[in-house]
A and B are shown apart, each in its own frame.
Chain A
Amino acid sequence: MNYLLPERLDRLAREYALGTLAGAARRRFERVLQQSPAATLAVGIWQERLALLAESVPAMQPRASLWQNLERRLFAPGRPAAPASESPFARLARLLSGRLLGGALAGALMCALVLRTQPGLVGLETRVDVLPASYVGLLTDSAGKPAVLASSRRQGRVLTVKMLQPISVPAGQVAELWALPKDGAPAFPVGVVPVSASATIALADTSDKLFFNVARLAVSLEPAPAKPGDAPSGPFVLSGHCVKLW
């Protein structure tokens, strides 16, 4: 079924936003939402309208135990505060991080040497070993130390950000990631990066559309998350090349 015919999309979007889309149809449409920006936008418009109806609902104070349970479930010792699921890219980033990076590079060189001398081995390469077409950025600090690994599949709409070393962000500020186009056009904001661990940033469009013409990525400290059209308000604290991996 083509979910994206305008009339069908509007019907599904409003029924999803209202909640009357139920059962398997609701689950199917949730999968469509993960792939389709048009569907996300259509649902978003209806959700914004319907949220206006929520203002008249009388408030109800939760019991104090609710907050205590939340704190226990999220922050109790032995439970890391990192996201429950880790994307393949975050795993890749983790593998590439820190001291392993040197080892991985040495390994890659060794592979290249072996393949040069024994081209017959190329046939052994299986499909799953091939990294998918992606954009990758490695940002370094002023001392040249790797600080952030950013990666996104070519047609993907999320950017995985792995912090290779914690960055210090003063209270009340956020670390904003910027994309710097090759042609010298103004930098545009990509999203807020975490101070440590890893995170995914939802992109405004597919990677290929956003990063096709981007040469560098950089991070500046901002008083608030940047909106489209904003420019960096301060110097870049981290920066690095953005490259195509295919």
Chain B
Amino acid sequence: MTNDELSGLLARVALRDRAAFEQVYRATCAHLLGIAFRILNQRERAEEALQESFLSVWHNAGGFRPSVASPMTWLINIVRNKAIDALRSGRTERGLTGTLDDDALQVAADASQQPQQLLDESLIRLKIDACMADLAGQERQALALAYYRGMVHTEIAQALNAPLGTAKAWVRRGLNKLKRCLESVGVQSS
């Protein structure tokens, strides 16, 4: 589905068009659940976050402006925010209660490697892997943990066994480099 088609459907959702809402859901739910799952690491909680996200889509589709964001970016932001909120509100109980399902065990097995792989694949796809290769491995890893796992600076510092200030600097350098590399290949953010 193209961006224009998705924008058109979201405009219909703002008009309370249920059929358009279902089309948006069918076209995007699998991709969006994947994103929520990387952050929450549990299918149940990821599906909850996705459900909350689509409630928000139904109520707030009128706030989507195609001139400001692409429809997929708009949807991804809603889902990432819901997943990150759920992650942070449930952090104290995580690991103590709840059962890990098969999907989660699979992620847990390579938890430290996977975000890095996802980032590398993205960079190749965007043709900026060579440009981003200037960054130290830890800088790329810090960026990957923050984006794909929703980690905050203290967690990144812990995961990569580095002082907090260093972890913050890695994330900052990762983002700045990403910005420059995207600009160098002419990927314009609208």
A residues with a Cβ closer than 8 A to B are 14, 18-20, 22-23, 40-41, 44-63, 66-67, 69-70, 73-75, 81, 83-84, 169, 174-175, 191-192, 194-197, 199-202, 204, 224-225, 227-228
Main secondary structure of the interface of A (DSSP, over half): mixed
- Bound CA span A222–B33, Å: 33
Contacting B125 at CB < 8 Å: which of A19, A56, A169? Answer: A56
Q: Which 6 A-B pairs have the closest CB atoms?
A: A48-B189, A59-B30, A56-B121, A51-B73, A56-B122, A60-B34
B: number of interface residues (CB 8 Å): 66
B59 adjacent to A49 (CB under 8 Å): no
Contacting residue for B65 out of A53, A175, A202, CB 8 A:
A202
* A195 and B29 contacting across the interface, CB-CB below 8 Å: no
Contact of A44 with B29 at beta-carbon distance under 8 Å, contacts A52-B182, A224-B11 already known: no
Among A49, A51, A55, the residue within 8 A (CB) of B179 is A49
Expressed in whole angstroms, the Cα–Cα distance for A48 and B88 within the complex equals: 23
- A59 and B175 contact, CB distance less than 8 A: no
Q: List 15 A-B contacts (CB under 8 A).
A: A19-B84, A22-B152, A44-B68, A48-B190, A51-B70, A59-B30, A60-B37, A60-B46, A62-B47, A70-B55, A75-B18, A169-B15, A174-B12, A224-B4, A225-B8
Q: Which of A47, A62, A204 contacts B30 (CB 8 A)?
A: A62
Among A52, A55, A60, residue most surrounded by chain B Cβ atoms (within 10 Å): A60
The residues of B that contact A60 with a CB separation of less than 8 Å are 30, 33-34, 37, 43, 46, 103
- SS of B interface (majority): helix
A81 near B33: Cβ-Cβ < 8 Å: no
- Nearest CB in chain A to that of B103: its residue: A60
A53 and B35 alpha carbons, distance in the complex (Å): 10
Cα(A202)–Cα(B63), bound, Å: 5
Q: Please tell me if the beta carbons of B29 and A62 are within 8 angstroms of each other in the complex.
A: yes
- In B112-134, the 8 Å CB interface with A consists of 118-119, 121-122, 125-126
B179 contact set on A, CB distance < 8 A: 49
A84 cross-chain contacts in B, Cβ below 8 A:
59
A228, B67: Cα distance in complex, Å:
8
In the bound complex, residues from chain B placing their C-beta under 8 Å from that of A197 are: 16
A70 touches B51 (CB 8 A): yes
- The interface residues of chain B lying within 8 Å CB-to-CB of A194 are 14-16, 62
Q: Which of B22-66 contact A (CB under 8 A)?
A: 22, 25, 29-31, 33-35, 37-38, 43, 46-47, 50-51, 54-55, 58-59, 62-63, 65-66
